[in-house]
Amino acid sequence: MRTKHKKTYKGHNVWRSYSDLMAGLLLLFVLVMCISFMQAQKNYQERLEEESAHQQTTSLMQSQLDEQQALLNEQESELDEQAALLAAQQADLDEQSALVTSQQESLDAQSALLAQQESELADQEALVASQQEALDEQAALVASQQATLEEQQQKIEQIIGVKADLIADLKQEFDAQNLSVTIDETDGSILLDSSVLFGFNEYSLTEEGQALLAQILPVYCSVLLSDEYFDYLAEIRIDGYTDTSGTYFSNLQLSQSRAFAVASYLLELGTISSSELELLEEKLSVNGHSWADPVYAEDGSIDADASRRVEIKFSLKDEDMINELSEILNTTTAETEAEADTESGSEADTATADIE
């Protein structure tokens, strides 16, 4: 029995040991579980804290991200605006580039035109220089001609002065002789009415005509043949004229015969000294002009009575040449002034063209 009890007790100890072991294991398991739970709790708490911190960080980052997104959106909007502005500026730049290209082309064309104008200007300057040289030569020639013309003008004025003095002396001498004689102020001629000197269609002097010529001709010739004027005297002319009735040749013969009759009476008058007569024969000329140069009435018709006349006139040496020179002088002066005006206008146009 005792042995059995020992075996029972021994068995009981085993189970007790096993139970203790199991209790210990359980306690250890519980302890481990508690420790694990505590550790898990701690880890969970830490994780919660970490998650909370992470959540805060995430929130902060999200806030920052939202701010950055807003800023990015704002920047993107600004970028879009800048892109639109850049596109507009690019369009303006393209337009300006096209304008610059057009202006460059225009500038190139203007440069080519300027080069052409400079070439033309150089040609014009050369032409102006040539014209100026020719003008200088012409000016020198004009100056020479002007000097010659001035010399001739002085001679003309001298002859005109002599002629004026001669006409004045003729008037004075006729007045001194109480003779009513009309002397032409221009050429110093005396007009004698044919109706007083001759009968109609006659060339023989009437007594009244002879008396008139005896009074007038010696006085007229004495002044012309005086020492003061003889050296200037070229010719004393007696010219006969008729009216327009009849033929030209019959009137030519009649006018010539009347002029000869007056000249013959003058040369045979006897009141002129022999020395004056020699001088008169040297200077006297007689001409018949038929119906040439008729005298016209105020209404434009031919005055037949006035056309039948004898004219006694004189001319001075070189007077015809001087009259021609006077005309040339006036013509040359007018042409010179016209050329000067023309050249002044050309120079002004050239200057204007150069400026343009």
Nearest-angstrom CA–CA distance, 266 and 284: 10
Nearest-angstrom CA–CA distance, 270 and 292: 33
63 or 10: which carries more pLDDT confidence?
Answer: 63
Nearest-5° angle of CA 192, CA 194, CA 200? 175
Quick one: pLDDT at residue 352?
Answer: 46
Task: Please check the confidence at residue 82 and state whether its pLDDT lies above 90.
Answer: no
353 or 94: which carries more pLDDT confidence?
Answer: 94
Average pLDDT over residues 96-120: 86
Quick one: pLDDT at residue 147?
Answer: 75
Give every CB contact of residue 183 below 8 A, 6+ residues apart in sequence: 167, 170, 171, 174, 189, 190
Nearest-angstrom CA–CA distance, 306 and 24: 192
70 or 13: which carries more pLDDT confidence?
Answer: 70
Task: Please check the confidence at residue 328 and state whether its pLDDT lies above 70.
Answer: no
- Return the number of other C-beta atoms located less than 10 Å from residue 40's C-beta: 12
Parallel, antiparallel, or unpaired: how do β-strands 190-193 and 309-316 relate? antiparallel
% of the chain surpassing 90 pLDDT:
28
pLDDT digits (tens, 9 = 90+) for 235-274: 999 999 999 999 999 999 999 999 999 999 999 988 888 8
Q: Is 238 helix (H, G, I), strand (E, B) or coil?
A: strand
pLDDT digits (tens, 9 = 90+) for 275-289: 888 889 899 999 999
Candidate from 119-123, 139-143, 182-186 with smallest mean pLDDT: 139-143
Quick one: pLDDT at residue 317?
Answer: 84
Average pLDDT over residues 322-331: 61
pLDDT band at 193 (very low <50, low <70, confident <90, very high): confident
pLDDT band at 213 (very low <50, low <70, confident <90, very high): very high
Surface-to-core class of residue 132, CB atoms within 10 Å of its CB (0-12 exposed, 13-18 middle, 19+ buried): middle
Task: Please check the confidence at residue 356 and state whether its pLDDT lies above 50.
Answer: no
Average pLDDT over residues 298-326: 81
Nearest-angstrom CA–CA distance, 110 and 103: 10
Parallel, antiparallel, or unpaired: how do β-strands 309-316 and 233-241 relate? antiparallel
Average pLDDT over residues 50-79: 79
Q: What token pair was written down for 255?
A: 């006018």
Residue (of 164, 153, 202) closest to 186 by Cα position: 164
Surface-to-core class of residue 314, CB atoms within 10 Å of its CB (0-12 exposed, 13-18 middle, 19+ buried): buried
Q: What is the DSSP letter of 4?
A: H
pLDDT band at 26 (very low <50, low <70, confident <90, very high): confident
pLDDT digits (tens, 9 = 90+) for 156-177: 666 678 889 999 999 999 999 8
351 or 35: which carries more pLDDT confidence?
Answer: 35
Q: Is 284 helix (H, G, I), strand (E, B) or coil?
A: strand
Task: Please check the confidence at residue 355 and state whether its pLDDT lies above 50.
Answer: no
Q: Which of 23-27, 64-68, 135-139, 252-256 has the highest mean pLDDT?
A: 252-256
100 or 4: which carries more pLDDT confidence?
Answer: 100
Average pLDDT over residues 15-43: 76
Task: Please check the confidence at residue 182 and state whether its pLDDT lies above 80.
Answer: yes
Quick one: pLDDT at residue 68?
Answer: 78
Quick one: pLDDT at residue 150?
Answer: 66
% of the chain surpassing 70 pLDDT:
82
Exposure letters 269-303 (e unless 16+ CB within 10 A, then b): eeebeeebbebbeebbebebbbbeebeeeeeeeee
pLDDT band at 143 (very low <50, low <70, confident <90, very high): confident
What pTM does this model have? Answer: 0.51
